[in-house]
Structure 1
Amino acid sequence: MDKICTYERRRNIIVTGTPGAGKSEWVDELVLRLCLRHQWKIGFFSPENIPIVYHLRKLIEKLTGHRFQNGCGMTEGLLARSEEFLAENVSHISLKGNATPDRVLAKARELVVRRGCRIFVFDPLNRFDHEPAPGQTETQYISNLLNKFTEFATQYNCLLILVAHPRKMNRNPTTGATPRVEMYDINGSADFYNKADYGIVVERDKEIGITRVYVDKVKFKHLGVGGVATFVYDPVNGRYLPCEESHDPAVPPEQRARNTVYDSSCWLPEKELF
């Protein structure tokens, strides 16, 4: 993935893909890796990950490489280190009443000031309580909303990740195949592609057992050239394992993922002793 795309702050990433493709799981891993590598603290607005303890459990599995249950390598020490790391580096935005974009951004500003958050994940867009102005079209509303998100990322030196669902993708009546989702397929406006600094599509091929991550847009060429990266999802720890995909039709579908790079190591940084 690093060969086709790198990230910097003051940018926005728009991620899409069909329901069940693994968008949220993949974004969770991306932001954890950025946090571990660059010490960018994370703020989540993710109403679909309620209760929050369930989301924290998934993050702990990714961090430790172990399933969150007894007898699977999870020790009290690992759990304590994980909880300490998440308490220091991860925050959740939880609002009572309408979760309008303005209210969520106001909470995000507080997290920048109080906690030093540098990554924000808004997942998904359709869980905001949208309040378009009278007479405003959907296209106009989305354009203004994306401008707000971009201005926030720029003003507060953050990387903002927005997960947005595509329109319903119809199967080809002849082949029965569903076309690959593209950025212009995001429901509501072409501005999801036009105003994105990065455009990413997550696709899960259940027959082959591979997740393809398409980087369809990188606004600045020094940040990447785009392309596709392939992964095998590990259900034990929720990690995405880099792999190669065979396109030889003679190879059975279940054998097309090859050279998978397995990783069950603990990602948690060692505590410094003074």
Structure 2
Amino acid sequence: MATYEELGIEIRGNSKQQKVKCPTCSHTRKNKTDKSLSVNLDKGTYHCFNCGWKGVVDGKTAEEKKQEGREYYRQQREYAKPNVTHVPLADRTVKFFEDRKITRETLQYFKVTESQEWMPEKDGHKAGKRTCINFNYYRGDDLVNIKYRDPLKCFKMTKDAELILYNLNSLKGRTEMLICEGEIDAMAFYQSGYYGATSVPNGASKGSAKLEYLDNCAGEFDVMFKIIIATDGDEPGRALRDELVRRLGSHRCWLVEYPEGCKDANEVLIKHGNDAVRKLWSTATAPPIEDVLTFEDLEPDMDDVYQNGWPKIEPIGYEGFDALLNFGPGQVTTVTGIPQHGKDEFIRQIMIRKAVRYGEKSFIFNPEEEAWVQATKAVQQLVGKTFYRHDRHNSVNPAQYDYAKKYLNAHLFFVDHINADLTIDGLLVKCAEMVLRKGVKYISLGPYNCIEDKREQWQTEGEYVSQIYQKLTRFALKYKVHIFFVAHTTKMLKEGKKFVVPNLYNISGSANFFNKTHNGITCYRNYEENTTDIWVQKVKYFFYGKLGMQSFHFDVGVGRFTELGTPFTSDLDYLIYGQPGRMTSTLFPDEEPRQPDPPTEQQQPPTDEASTDTYDGYDPELGF
């Protein structure tokens, strides 16, 4: 494969991302010095945004780069492999597809087969073996999964098998692809002439917990310049579309629009034919002009506010504090306070409550404590009891410990600060990866003095702090996450024996800790009153909160906050029942059991099916 030099691409220096002149079109342009060719030295990719010339170099084929990506991103676990006897498609099965305008040749290309498979009861039909269509999922020559469809429209996939995109092999050597919401839709796009059409394996699953395939196919996504999103036109399909765009990056996602009366590509094929399907992908909506927003671009958000009011964020479950401040996406909240006044515990409590109530996931960088210590404290905060076994009524019992570990394993993650790059750019690269792999919505970084200083010689500390906030804010906006940024105060003044309540201007280094943040809160432990006061000292948007103070009782042994005047409730209890109350004897054997409320989806036991957000390659040298 050709090198950059052989292609005539002039590389200057060692910057990972460069803009250079395009050797194929610069000599034909009026401005011959315009640097229209984007080069990524890490990925070995190049793309001219004037003439469209693009490709992969650096001595490795696209397939080799994909394989490296797979090995890096794929979860390190053993997957089950399908074990089934395939038979050729029966005539009735072929007719089923022909009624949907899918040809026999297309079925052969996609290696569709059928088999006898045990399927569940449905519509009065008993569970048992039925003839099923087999949508076979291949990675190279390996059959890694099968989706079964029976005549009753029951679906299932091979248990414990790897989730990947359907028709993944079609992406070999490509830098453009299409993602739709069903195997038959992928076939419809293929028949229309789009040969890089893939499908998600499990449709528009509720929430983001079923997007494991994004992680498992991260190597394929890494080399894509253009991704056409063609999910269904119904509400779940639009939700999946928005989540894919969020994770894959809006700068490379294009959207299709279905004609009236059609919600997917196969319906378009049946009603309007191949030409109409071809029109879907050939007229996909182009991205807006880079870095420019028009009123038309902003109209959906403006209309939503006009019709429904200002944005509302789910509360964390503290009635008094929720009336003061809500933590919206795309924002940075600076958290300060005197050391040992509960900053980290309060942030972690917020994250646990967000996980318990809404299934949201969080990522913590706190090098002041070892990760196992933070994890232990998180279990205590979730259960509301201590690890110390001297008091059996107030200590975490084995059942509670096991349940809490499993749940938090899927919802709370920590930076390995021993091995990680601890610069702000390195941390944001890791955060972006966690948006890819786990779908985190809340991030805690700090304290500021533990982030490796990469200040330029000419920069003042104030300029450096301002630059950090610029990066944090752009990251939060791009990935729609909320970032808590922790910073210690300077040596504080006392009034008698009591410390004065600090504010964000008391943070050592710069007034920009106050000036540049969206929100600012101070944690202050009042030892005389035996309370911890949370002061909201800055709120940028009035619809997210207001200035004020809320007092909490802080249980030092457990690390939990309870608003003054309110009873203690266990977050683990809330997790199981969806409301405060007493638990069953299974988890609290020393208490009187009660009958649980009917279970909801949120109350099901935790699983290992963590979400996998798509990382589009944050590069600190380019920004966002």
TM class by smaller structure? 0.7 to 0.9
User: How far 1:160 moved relative to its partner?
Assistant: 0.3
- Give a deviation string over 1:84-137, Cα, whole Å, max 9, x none: 111101111114265111111111111100111111011311111111012111
In 2, Cα distance between equivalents of 1:30 and 1:104: 21
In 2, Cα distance between equivalents of 1:76 and 1:68: 10
Q: Which residue of 2 aligns with 1:107?
A: 430
- 2:372 aligned with 1:64, yes or no? no
- 2:500 aligned with 1:194, yes or no? no
Q: Which residue of 2 aligns with 1:41?
A: 361
Q: Which residue of 2 aligns with 1:27?
A: 347
**Structure 2 contact 442–481 (Cα < 8 Å) conserved:** yes
SS state of the match for residue 109, structure 1? helix
* Inter-CA distance 218–97: structure 2 relative to 1 (3 Å threshold): closer
Q: How does 1:144-223 map to 2 (within 5 A)?
A: 144-172=467-495, 175=496, 177-223=498-544
* Inter-CA distance 265–183: structure 2 relative to 1 (3 Å threshold): closer
- Give a deviation string over 1:26-68, Cα, whole Å, max 9, x none: 1111121122223220001111121x11111110011111112
**Structure 1 contact 93–108 (Cα < 8 Å) conserved:** no
User: How far 1:225 moved relative to its partner?
Assistant: 1.5
1:272 to 604, 608, 612: 604
- Give a deviation string over 1:212-267, Cα, whole Å, max 9, x none: 10001111111112200001111342211111xxxxxxxxxxxxxxx353334634
Q: How many residues align?
A: 255
SS state of the match for residue 410, structure 2? helix
| TM-score normalised by the chain length of structure 1 | 0.87
- Where does the alignment leave 5 or more consecutive residues of structure 2 unmatched? 1-320, 577-602, 606-624
- For residue 272 of structure 1, what is the amino acid of its counterpart? Q
| TM-score normalised by the chain length of structure 2 | 0.39
1:231 to 552, 565, 573: 552
- For residue 229 of structure 1, what is the amino acid of its counterpart? Q
Q: Which residue of 2 aligns with 1:87?
A: 409
Mark the structure with the bigger radius of gyration: 2
* Inter-CA distance 267–144: structure 2 relative to 1 (3 Å threshold): farther
* Inter-CA distance 161–267: structure 2 relative to 1 (3 Å threshold): farther
1:78 to 400, 414, 427: 400
- 2:332 aligned with 1:12, yes or no? yes
In 1, Cα distance between equivalents of 2:572 and 2:360: 19
* Inter-CA distance 88–201: structure 2 relative to 1 (3 Å threshold): same
In 1, Cα distance between equivalents of 2:477 and 2:570: 36
- Give a deviation string over 1:167-204, Cα, whole Å, max 9, x none: 111335xx454322011111111111111111001100
**Structure 2 contact 353–571 (Cα < 8 Å) conserved:** no
In 1, Cα distance between equivalents of 2:479 and 2:513: 21
In 1, Cα distance between equivalents of 2:499 and 2:342: 17
SS state of the match for residue 266, structure 1? helix
In 1, Cα distance between equivalents of 2:570 and 2:413: 25
In 2, Cα distance between equivalents of 1:61 and 1:45: 19
1:262 to 560, 568, 574: 568
* Inter-CA distance 14–102: structure 2 relative to 1 (3 Å threshold): same
- Where does the alignment leave 5 or more consecutive residues of structure 1 unmatched? 244-258
**Structure 2 contact 357–575 (Cα < 8 Å) conserved:** no
- 2:455 aligned with 1:132, yes or no? yes
In 2, Cα distance between equivalents of 1:2 and 1:97: 34
